[in-house]
Structure 1
Amino acid sequence: MASTSLTLIVRPRGKPIRGLPEEIVIDPKDSVAGLYKKIAASSKSSIHRLKITKGSDGSAIPISGVLTIEQTGLRNKSTIDVKDLGPQIAWRTVFIVEYLGPLLFHPLLYYFRPIIYKTSEAPSELQTLSLILISLHFIKREYETLFVHRFSLATMPARNIFKNSAHYWLFAGLNIAYWTYAPSAPTAQWPNPLIKYAGIVLFIVGELGNFSTHLTLRNLRRPGSTDRGVPDGASFKLVTCPNYMFETIAWVGIWMVNWSLSTAVFLVLAVVQMSLWARKKEMKYRKEFGDRYKRKRFFIFPGVY
């Protein structure tokens, strides 16, 4: 019986990869993940450190346990290019490190106010409330990272952890904390009960809505799989990324409690970044799911954007 195996021509893309075979034989019914494992075994590397693209058009071949070699369009004697992405770090680890910054800076500046600001005044009600809300937000983030999120990509380049962490450590951590707990900060003043309680309500609504959305997204992806289903649910009928909508609501609530310009700056930066991500996500959903996906007009804010 004639063999149905395919022989693929393998070329390094960029710098040479030690142990990379010139050819690899694989069954067309095998998964793409199997192809990655074979090449990784030959080069004694992690599959997450490798990126495989078609030699014909340069399109990426994603790591997938569902997609088969045959479905990628590769045929006998097709050429694939393999790139070494360099040292990698798990996305879960990246998120844990990112969110750790604010969880360190806020208690530090709150409890060491007498030394940092050279004051004998006790923290105000709003300063204490700001510490509680911001800490709860990032504790929730850490919990979701450990027990809720399922990542489409297992790793990222290790060097990027510094760039990714800077946003949270500097803007959400040090910058917000320094100006929130200062004796001259708006949070040091007597609170307006109406604004304070409105901010708390928005914070609670935003955090619960965000958590609920993350649970929905989690259930769209099977454990151990990078494939996902079509997002659905009440909030997903309004916008592409309701998790970003609720994230914004929660931070508006925090800002209404502390009225700090530093919080407003972080909120604006976050909304701009989430807007870019949401638009990109909408385009990706349209391409990935086709007619199964109901296109959204608004990405984050109903009636606005």
Structure 2
Amino acid sequence: MSDSTIQIKVTAAKKKTALLRSLPLPLTLTFPPSPPPTVRDVKTAIQQAHPSLSAVRQKISLPEAPKALGDESAILFGSAGDAELVLGDLGPQISWRTVFIVEYAGPLLIHPLVYHYLPQLIYGAKVEHSALQKSVYAMVLLHFTKRELETLLVHRFSHATMPLFNIFKNSAHYYILSGALLAYDLYRPGLSAPAVAGTWRDNKTMLYAAWAIWTFAQLSNLSTHLTLRALRPAGTTTRAVPMGYGFSAPFRLTSPNYFFEILGWGVVFCMSGSLAAGLFLAASGRQMILWAQKKHAGYKREFGDKYPRSRKAIFPRIL
């Protein structure tokens, strides 16, 4: 080893994929000592040596700790001026942006099919849609169209990709719960114009109030997404304490976007009484609560006393 270089030995993880077994490992990589190489540099060097193993598929860890190292982590060297890393294969990857686009496309395709084209086949009769059904149909389409546009134009992702298999697991939630089941239950004859005529579900004041609360929730959710986008400059993973609407008074929340999301779907559930809407609200709400609590704990660890103590994770003054 030259005085002007340092060496990193890369060995294979115990659990080997077919691709890892096909590579000539262990592999020795040579770097200049200054600046010290990062995990990203190691991944790039491995990809250059073996193009079949792209950087996004690689999991780099230490021999004594299986947890993946962050791309910006600097490599620590022993007294001999060398280091050893363990290489794992995460398998085929797909971009987060693509996953979200595919997920949200499900309800956008399924709801129009059930609403316009399949009532006779599904229910055995034509459905004269009520003002309630027309409203929830519009709310569903507007909500998922908003999500698609946010995915394309607003969201920035700290991780570029995820395992390819996850697209099937994640899509099932949207295609089944908020797609087929929700559409079937919302547009059934039991909520049609003749069925709700003269009831509170046919009351215009109720519908106007529901639209007002739902619109408030959607616009508030968008506002918090724009705030989070502004915190992270393009091409970085910068983290800072979010401030402003939703994060500060009167809500004071770590994840106001989740709160407003739950509020919007709560409106759909309350106005329709749909069991499918309730199931989707419960399942997605539980997941968002877990995400919010995890983010809340992470922010408190990361920012310490700088993080506002009055904030709750997801529900104002409650949780």
Q: Matched residues in 1 for 2:136 and 2:212: separation?
A: 14
How many angstroms apart in 2 are the aligned matches of 1:19 and 1:140?
47
**Per-residue Cα deviation, 1:207-226 (whole angstroms, up to 9, x for no partner):** 00111111111111121223
1:200 aligned onto 2:200: no
**In the alignment, what sits opposite 1:36?**
43
Mapped partners of 2:203, 2:87: distance in 1: 60
TM-score, normalised relative to structure 2: 0.86
Give the Cα separation in 2 of the matches to 1:39 and 1:28.
Answer: 19
Q: Which residue of 2 aligns with 1:9?
A: 9
Q: CA deviation at 1:296?
A: 5.8
- Equivalent of residue 244 in structure 1, options 258, 270, 280: 258
Partner of 2:60: 52
> Aligned equivalents of 1:258 and 1:224: distance in 2?
43
Residue 292 of structure 1 and its aligned partner are, at CA, apart by: 4.0
Matching residue's letter, 2:83: S
Q: Is the 8 A contact 1:8 1:25 kept in 2?
A: yes
Q: Within 2, Cα distance between the matches of 1:9 and 1:128?
A: 63
Measured in 2, the distance between the counterparts of 1:158 and 1:232 equals 34
Within the candidate set 228, 231, 249, 2:242 is matched to 231
Q: 2:302 aligns with which of 285, 288, 296?
A: 288
Alpha-carbon distance between aligned partners in 2 of 1:4 and 1:196, rounded to the nearest angstrom: 73
Structure 2: distance between partners of 1:132 and 1:275: 26
- Check 1:122–1:185 CA distance in 2 against 1; reply closer, same or farther (3 A cut): closer
The 8 Å contact of residues 20 and 43 in structure 1, kept in 2 or not, is answered as no
Counterpart among 23, 29, 34 of residue 24 in structure 1: 29
AA aligned to 1:103 is: L
Cα gap change, 1:183/1:203 in structure 2, threshold over 3 Å: closer, same or farther?
same
Does the Cα contact within 8 Å between 2:182 and 2:277 map onto a contact in 1? yes
1:84 counterpart residue number? 89
Question: Given the superposition, is the C-alpha separation of residues 156 and 110 from structure 1 closer, same or farther in structure 2, using an over 3 Å criterion?
Answer: same
The answer for the alignment partner of 2:283 in structure 1 is: 269
Aligned residue number for residue 165 of structure 1: 171
Structure 1 gaps of 5+ residues are none
Deviations 1:17-53 (A, max 9, x none): 5145522223452443222211222221211101111
Conservation of the 8 A alpha-carbon contact between 1:282 and 1:296: no
Q: Distance in 2 between matches of 1:182 and 1:146?
A: 33
Q: C-alpha distance in 2, partners of 1:39/1:292?
A: 40
Pair 287,53 (structure 1): closer, same or farther in 2 beyond 3 Å: farther
Query: What amino acid is the match of 1:60?
Result: A
Distance 2:236 2:138 in 1: 36
What is the CA distance between 1:295 and its match in structure 2?
4.7
- Report which stretch shifted further, 269-278 or 3-12: 3-12
- Aligned identity (percent) is 41
Determine which of 182, 186, 189 is the counterpart of 2:188.
Answer: 182
Cα deviation code 1:155-213 (max 9, x no counterpart): 11111111101111100011110011011137851313333222211111110011111
SS of 2:10's partner is: strand
Instruction: Tell me what 2:229 maps to.
Output: 218
- Following superposition, the deviation at residue 279 of structure 1 comes to 1.0
Deviation at 1:250, TM superposition (A): 1.0
The two structures, once aligned, show a CA RMSD in angstroms of 2.1
Given that residues 198 and 253 in structure 1 are in contact (C-alpha distance below 8 angstroms), is that contact kept between their aligned partners in structure 2? no
How many residues were matched structurally?
299
Counterpart secondary structure, 2:59: strand
Structure with higher Rg: it is 2
* Counterparts of 2:154 and 2:168, CA distance in 1: 24
Report which stretch shifted further, 267-276 or 288-297. 288-297
Deviates more, 1:259-268 or 1:189-198: 189-198
- The corresponding residue for 1:100 is 105
- Report the Cα offset of residue 87 of structure 1: 0.5
